Amino acid sequence: MLLTRGEVLGHKKYGEHYHSLTIVAPEVGEQVQPGQFINVLCGEGSAHILRRPFSVYRVHKRGGWASTIEIVFDIRGAGTEYLAHLRPHMMVDLVGPLGRGFALPKGRAHCLLVGGGIGAAPLFFLADDLRNDGHRVDVILGARSNRMLLNPIEVRRLASVARVVTEDGSTGEQGRVTDVLEETIERCETEIIYTCGPHPMLEAVTKIGVNRKLPVQVAVEELMACGYGVCMTCVMPLKVKKKAGAGKSRARGARTSVNADGSQADAEDEVTYARSCTEGPVFNGASVIWNGHEEPVAPDQAELSPTGLAVAHGGFEDSADEHPPPGN
């Protein structure tokens, strides 16, 4: 974990929607693992004080002195607007690498990576590492429409099987990632699922994976202030087993029931709020209590989550219908 300044090596765009910044950050580049993120200062002065977190999209390790990290983002507010205007040789103040990244399989495994919108960002770095370790990598890349797909051409290059889906059918198959998930799992003989994207997608992917007894690692995107474990704002509700031997829990043991999809906390579970920045952002999908997270995030706050997806997926108009304001 370092507080450092990196020089912008390049700014480019992926499609018309996504910006990319490559930053020279040798120490961070050498240390960072797939799924980890950096927290970036986005501007001078005190109008917008908080850093913006970004998962690392790609790393180019070039020995100890010139390693670079690449982040991708779309413009959501003042912070990302500022970043989009950075050009080579300008400096970026960043903290990283932060968080716990994805756990890689020990033996050779068939890995399925499922990304929604810009949530796909950390999966590119993950795919690079998995392939280097000799694992099979398949990818489902989804988005609302063609312009929200993150680098589908690169996905086709990286993956043994690449499925591209858009909700409006503007590219690839029409539908959501979950529409093609079961079929892809069977066809690719998937052994582990890695996923990143909006909560409803992570929840649906987890359900399907858990039903098939597959491990599902989810990378979440919570609003955060500090990124290093002190502010307690970016928490995810997790279910944890109550400690065995407590008198109370024994007495109630008979009522234990776990739902088939494992999605609900049962009588023996306790709810705990885990910090996404230090205990995550990668969690075991089966431990997350998704229904605790139906609250939509205000559009102007979206860029305070690691890849800023909280609003992008499905549009907040949709979620506004699902979650009417109090009193309506």
Partner 1 sequence: MADLSIKLAGVELRTPVLVASGTFGAGREGSYFVPVNQLGGIIVKSTTLTPWKGKPTPRMCETPSGMLNAIGIQNKGIDHFISTDLPWLLKKDATVFASIAGNTVDEYIKVADKLRTGGRGITGVEINISCPNLEDHSNMFSHSPESTTAVVAGVRKALPKAALFPKLSPNVTSLTEIAGAAIEAGADGLSLINTLFGMAIDVEHRRPKLAGVTGGLSGPAIRPVAVRAVWEVHNAFPHIPVIGQGGISTAEDALEFILAGASAVAVGTSNFVNPRSSLEVTKGIGEYMDRNHVASVAELVGSVKTEG
Report the 10 Å Cβ neighbour count for 227: 27
Q: Is 231 in the site for partner 1 (CB under 8 A)?
A: yes
Per-residue mark of binding to partner 1, 13-52 (x: CB under 8 A): ----------------------------x----xxxxxx-
Nearer to partner 1, 22 or 319 (CB): 319
* CB of residue 49 to partner 1, shortest distance in Å: 5
| C-alpha to C-alpha distance for 151 and 295, rounded to whole angstroms | 29
Choose one: 27-35, 125-133, 152-160, 265-273; the region binding partner 1 (CB under 8 A).
265-273
The amino acid that residue 6 corresponds to is: G
Asked if 75 touches partner 1 (CB under 8 A), the answer is no
51 CB-near residues (< 8 Å, 6+ apart): 39, 40, 41, 42, 94, 95, 227
Q: Which of residues 287-306 bind partner 1 (CB under 8 A)?
A: 292-293, 295-301, 304
At residue 258, what is the residue type? Answer: V
Q: Which of 298, 301, 297, 303 is nearest to 81 (CA)?
A: 303
3-state secondary structure of 274: strand
Q: Which of 84, 103, 104, 225 binds partner 1 (CB under 8 A)?
A: 225
Please give the single-letter amino acid code of residue 69.
Answer: I
Q: What is the per-residue DSSP string for 178-212? A: GGTHHHHHHHHT--EEEEES-HHHHHHHHHHHHHT
3-state secondary structure of 132: helix
Nearer to partner 1, 47 or 251 (CB): 47
Residue pair 160/167 in contact by the 8 Å Cβ criterion? no
* Distance between CA atoms of residues 11 and 47, nearest Å: 25
Q: Given the rule CB under 8 A, which of 62-70, 186-194, 232-240, 248-256 is the region that contacts partner 1?
A: 232-240
Question: What is the closest distance, in whole angstroms, from the C-beta atom of residue 288 to partner 1 in the complex?
Answer: 12
Residue 27 is inside which H or E element, if any? helix 26-31
Q: Which is nearer to partner 1, 39 or 55 (CB)?
A: 39
With contacts defined by CB under 8 A, name the span among 121-129, 173-181, 184-192, 225-233 that binds partner 1.
225-233
82 touches partner 1 (CB under 8 A): no
Binding site for partner 1 (CB under 8 A): 1, 3, 41, 46-51, 95, 222-237, 271-273, 278, 292-293, 295-301, 304, 316, 319-320, 323, 325-326, 328
